[in-house]
């Protein structure tokens, strides 16, 4: 073989090898960039907030407003039909609250001392069942010489108000605790009870509207929505009980705390006991987190898309445990529900956090 041909062959081999190395390097670089690129995570978070969190807040307000309307209609005409309607609307409202509950940050914790969520659902704070305290307070109001006023209501502690108080007002007789529709209807012949119901339902709707306003319009009188402040990293520019942690961290930590809270505080044995609505409520929470993970259909800007690229086995684990939770709820098996929620608690801490490539400095805590 002549020398020029040998040199030419060598040149071709070197060029081919260089091209292969360049291609491999580009592929590795692009994969690394997709894993770490903050903008991709930011777009995913914006989608979650816009398509999961804010709709959950808006639906809670819609349901709370409809509950208030149903309560006023019931008190205007105390009939079995209207009682059934207002009871069903309480269930819809409480279920809507549990759809929002895994996203317990921002407008729901807008105050250090008395955040909105404690007013709505005091059980979420420390897992304390206030049923007997509320029953005693209702008996006192029913036996009073004058009907409850808004000024009276505003003096009450948050643990005596919210969804639980409305459940007790709507699903049992104030003296006998009977859940008979006939006895509940008879209880409302005392006009004091409608005065209580009307004020409690109205103030719940006001609180729900405040949460929506915070997310979409004006958070803590800043002139900006919490959504924009969070996504743009501007939370530390206003006085807020929160730190300036990135949005993805807030979403994951809040979901983790929820899944820790339910078994830790034995929520299935305490919440929605009179209405029998606990399973739909828990299903709504699981659906909310599932939507947070999966994102919009066919969207590449989602946690599931990041997990698919970075660690498909993590996504498989999360999906499997979400399905396990849903199956356990459908079966009404409390022990299995608690077990599934504990697994999802761990999945938020490990698989989801690691799989979307965040977590330096990210810490988790108990659910309350």
DSSP assignment of 281-326 equals HHHHHHHHHHHHHH-STT-SSSHHHHHHHH-HHHHHHHHHHHHHHH
On whether the CB atoms of residues 121 and 167 are closer than 8 A, the answer is no
Q: Domain-by-domain residue ranges, the chain?
A: 40-355
pTM of the model: 0.87
Cα maximum dimension of the chain: 116
How many Å apart are CA 68 and CA 87, to the nearest integer? 11
Name 350's Cβ contacts closer than 8 Å, sequence gap at least 6: none
How many Å apart are CA 267 and CA 264, to the nearest integer? 8
How many Å apart are CA 14 and CA 11, to the nearest integer? 5
Cα angle 133, 136, 139 (rounded to 5 degrees) comes to 150
Nearest in space to 258 (alpha carbons), one of 60, 101, 110: 101
Find out if CATH 1.20.1420.20 is the number for domain 40-355: yes
On whether the CB atoms of residues 338 and 262 are closer than 8 A, the answer is yes
Q: Tens-digit pLDDT profile for the chain (368 aa)?
A: 444 443 444 444 444 444 443 343 333 333 433 444 443 567 789 999 999 999 999 999 999 999 999 999 999 999 999 999 999 999 999 999 999 999 999 999 988 888 999 999 999 999 999 999 999 999 999 999 999 999 999 999 889 999 999 999 999 999 999 999 999 999 999 999 999 999 999 999 999 999 999 999 999 999 999 999 999 989 888 888 787 788 999 999 999 999 999 999 999 999 999 999 999 999 999 999 999 999 988 777 899 999 999 899 999 999 999 999 999 999 999 999 999 999 999 999 999 999 988 764 555 666 66
How many CB atoms are located within 10 Å of the residue 8 CB? 11
């Amino acid at each position: 073989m002549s020398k020029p041909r040998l040199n030419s062959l060598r040149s071709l081999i070197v060029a081919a090898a260089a091209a292969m190395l360049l291609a491999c390097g580009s592929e590795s670089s692009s994969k690394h960039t997709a894993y770490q690129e903050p903008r991709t995570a930011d777009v995913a978070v914006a989608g979650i907030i816009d398509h999961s969190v804010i709709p959950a807040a808006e639906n809670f307000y819609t349901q709370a407003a409809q509950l208030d309307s149903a309560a006023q209609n019931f008190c205007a005409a105390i009939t079995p039909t209207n009682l059934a309607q207002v009871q069903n609307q309480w269930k819809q409202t409480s279920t809507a609250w549990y759809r929002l509950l895994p996203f317990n940050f921002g407008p729901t914790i807008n105050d250090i001392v008395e955040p909105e969520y404690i007013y709505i659902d005091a059980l979420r704070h420390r897992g304390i069942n206030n049923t007997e305290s509320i029953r005693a307070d209702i008996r006192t109001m029913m036996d009073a010489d004058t009907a409850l006023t808004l000024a009276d209501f505003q003096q009450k502690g948050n643990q005596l108000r919210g969804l639980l108080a409305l459940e007790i007002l709507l699903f049992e007789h104030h003296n006998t605790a009977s859940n008979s529709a006939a006895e509940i209807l008879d209880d409302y012949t005392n006009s004091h009870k409608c005065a209580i119901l009307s004020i409690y339902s109205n103030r719940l709707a006001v609180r729900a509207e405040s949460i929506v306003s915070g997310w979409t319009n004006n958070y803590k009188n800043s002139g900006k929505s919490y959504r924009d402040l969070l996504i743009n990293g501007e939370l530390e520019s206003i006085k807020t009980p929160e730190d300036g942690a990135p949005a993805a961290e807030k979403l994951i930590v809040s979901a983790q705390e929820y899944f820790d809270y339910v078994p830790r505080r034995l929520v299935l044995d305490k919440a929605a006991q009179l209405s029998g609505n606990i399973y739909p409520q828990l299903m709504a929470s699981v659906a909310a987190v599932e939507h947070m993970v999966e994102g919009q259909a066919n969207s590449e800007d989602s946690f599931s898309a990041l997990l698919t690229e970075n660690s498909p086995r993590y996504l498989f684990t999360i999906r499997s445990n979400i399905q396990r939770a849903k199956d356990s709820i459908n079966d009404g098996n409390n022990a299995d529900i608690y077990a599934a929620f504990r697994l999802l608690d761990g999945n938020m801490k490990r698989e989801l956090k690691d799989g979307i490539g965040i977590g330096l400095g990210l810490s988790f805590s108990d659910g309350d």
